[in-house]
Amino acid sequence: KIKQRPKPPGVNPATDKGLKSQAKQLVTIRKQKEKLYETKAQLNSVGMQASAMATQASAITAVGAVTEALGNANKVMDATKMNKTLMEFQRQNEMANMKEEMMNDALADAFDESDVEEEANEVTNQVLAELGVELDSKMVGLDAPNKAPPKKEGEQGVVSEEEAALMDALPDLRARLDAL
């Protein structure tokens, strides 16, 4: 309306009181609109502050409940009894670890791979030698060993020493297993 007011002929925009009045109303409405936006922002701020206060109040209530529960738990719990239980647990745990170490050592000693491989090679050679003896009687003209391969000097002593060591360790291993 303000834009259309000065257009008709005979209306002087500088002296027209109606035009000035409409312009003042427009300025007043714009200021009221700005104030309304500011008021809305302040109301939102107050709402957020109220939410924050409610959250703090519920957090304080929760902390109070937890404090009360911990106080009750401390009243019920006997510190010396708890300490004794923890000490017993630690002692039993150490015993279990020692038993595990003893079992691992015993199994490692019992299943030593180098001795097994040497013994397997000896048995294989012996079986092959025996087969050679059987085949020798069936096949004429072939040179095959007719007895087990001769053992090197000291080898017989090593085998019997190993067997003696295993026999000596057997009661100790059994005692360890029984102790577990």
Q: pLDDT tens digits for 122-154? A: 877 777 776 665 555 555 555 545 544 555 555
pTM equals 0.33
Which range, of 47-56, 89-98, 127-136, averages the lowest pLDDT?
127-136
Lookup result for tokens 């936006």: 37
